[in-house]
Structure 1
Amino acid sequence: MYTLIKTLVAILVMPTALMAITFGVGWVIRGVGRHRLGNNLIASSMALLLLAAWAPVSDSLLIPLESKYDALKSWPENKDVDAVVVLGGGWQPDQPWSITGKLGESSGLRLMEGLRLWHLRPGLPLLVSGSGANSEMTMAQGYAEAAESLGVPLERIVKLPSPKDTAEEARAVKALLGEGAQVVLVTSASHMPRAMQHFERVGLRPVAAPTHYLGNRRGGIAYWIPSARELHKTERAIYEAFGLLAIRWEH
């Protein structure tokens, strides 16, 4: 029930959902004769959507999350690392594409960064995580197939196919490696603050290795024009912000 409530709240607080609800309410109110109030709600819904799709707004929300942890450009010295952990993302197992083509944007970049770091210490296990629609087509299985095709020996790959979210991923890694284990943790930069909290709360010692950066400070005309890409960034930032708030109820 908690997972369902969390999912519904995450959907309803997104700008597109808020805009649609506000627009719909305004249209109904306008239809019953409250034209001024209805028009104000409709105008507010459009203003909300435009602001959410504007780069100065999306970057101001997303960049603080992405910049909390520095990129791990080289192997962390003086760290007794037990494994490289790549957190789950999205993938499309039913598509007739190559295994790398089935990985989503975030999961492809997460795996690429995980492999880059693993190759610096190929004696360590590579932990790949994520559930799926069934036990045969999990995110962990997709990661494992892609990693093997890119040169990682099968015996070095450890699949964690059951976790459905970051909290479950942290608990699964702890169950495998034990409390106090130190891991290089690979995930999207905007997701890293939440992932670090989950892993630290279960007693692990994660070393942040963020990737998949979306924020930018570039100028130019395109930067000032609202776009679907900027709307996605705003929704990503809001989703992670609510995820950080929800952590206190997940442990």
Structure 2
Amino acid sequence: MLFELKKYLGGLLLPLPFLMLLMGIAIVLLWFSRWQKTGRTLLTLSWLALLLLSLQPVADRLLKPIESRYPTWRGGPPVEDIVVLGGGYTWNPEWAPSSNLINNSLPRVAEGVRLWLANPGSRMIFTGYSAPTNPVTTAEAGARVAESLGVPRSAIITLDSPRDTEEEAAAVAQLLGDKPFLLVSSASHLPRAMIFFQRQGLHPIAAPANQLAITSPLQTWEKVMPSPLWLMHSDRVGYETLGRLWQWLKGRSAQPGE
């Protein structure tokens, strides 16, 4: 029950649904109340916030500090295990396998395969439970895509029960103990994930994927035109900020080693 409540409330507080809620309240005030000035103010402020969060310079300036905590893995001592955290997915057997990995999931798997190729003889470990209406788990979806890219099934392990990052860390701890391993997740999610994993006494090596905040040159119109792409970047900031707040509320905010 708490898990579902966390998902619903967290989703409602993300930039787009939250600002749409504020706009809805403002419209109600304008049409059905005497608080016209309050409604106009609320509508103006929420519209302005939505506009700013949909602009590339604003969205990526907010996202960059979160994503830049860990550098891309460029090589190091060989490891035996590569843990790829689950993300958004569906499963339609008629689609190309990679089409079933939504948003952050496909870049994570692609980076995991790159690391597997760079560490001969290693295993890929996929995590994540099944959505209520889907017989295929997040972990299995990732495993099937990796297999379609050339990773043999004998080199793949799936952990199908964890529902969130904290549970993923606990499941990996039971499997690997204190062995070092590469931990693959989205660059924005990895700082929070590393805390969960290190708090389990594990020794993960950060391997970020799916970097989104753009610092390379863009066309001028790409910077000044609002876009759902940049709003998605702002959404990642909101999601990770809420996730970090939840982590702190559960008493796990201290950095490892403190």
Task: Quote the Cα distance in structure 1 between the aligned partners of 2:126 and 2:209.
Answer: 16
Following superposition, the deviation at residue 136 of structure 1 comes to: 4.0
* Alignment-derived partner of residue 13 in structure 2: 13
What corresponds to 2:144 in structure 1? 145
Post-superposition CA distance 1:30-77 (Å, at most 9, x none): 232222221111111211211111212211211111101000022x23
Determine whether 1:54 maps to 2:52.
no
Q: Distance in 1 between matches of 2:129 and 2:251?
A: 19
Alignment of 1:166-245 (within 5 A): 166-178=165-177, 180-217=178-215, 218-219=217-218, 220-245=220-245
SS where residue 119 of structure 1 aligns?
helix
108-117 or 13-22, larger mean C-alpha shift: 13-22
The range that moved more, 14-23 or 128-137, is 128-137
Q: Where does the alignment leave 5 or more consecutive residues of structure 1 unmatched?
A: none
Deviation of 1:163 (Å): 1.1
The equivalent of 1:124 in structure 2 is 122
Unaligned runs of 5+ in 2: 253-258
SS of residue paired to 1:185: strand
| Separation in 1, partners of 2:247, 2:135 | 30
Q: Does the Cα contact within 8 Å between 1:196 and 1:206 map onto a contact in 2?
A: yes
CA distance in 1, matches of 2:103, 2:34: 47
Greater CA drift, 157-166 or 7-16: 7-16
Q: CA deviation at 1:95?
A: 5.3
Deviation string for 1:202-237 (max 9, x for gaps)? Answer: 111110111111111334221122111111110111
Whether the 8 Å CA contact 2:80–2:121 is kept in 1: the answer is no
Secondary structure of residue in 1 paired with 2:118: coil
TM-score (normalised: structure 2) = 0.89
CA RMSD of aligned residues (A): 1.8
Q: CA 1:250–1:148 in structure 2 vs 1: closer, same or farther (change >3 Å)?
A: farther
1:106-141: per-residue Cα shift (whole Å, max 9, x none)? Answer: 211111111111112221221111111368411211
Does the CA-based 8 Å contact 2:179-2:202 persist in structure 1? yes
State the identity as a percent.
37
Partner residue in 2 for 1:63: 64
Question: SS state of the match for residue 159, structure 1?
Answer: strand
CA contact (8 A) 1:167 1:250 kept: no
Q: Which amino acid is 1:236 matched to?
A: R
What does residue 89 of structure 1 align with? 87
Q: TM-score, normalised by structure 1?
A: 0.91
When the two structures are aligned, how many residues end up with a matched partner?
247
Moved more, 114-123 or 22-31: 22-31
Q: C-alpha distance in 1, partners of 2:23/2:124?
A: 48
Residue pair 2:129, 2:139 contacting (<8 A) in 1 also: yes
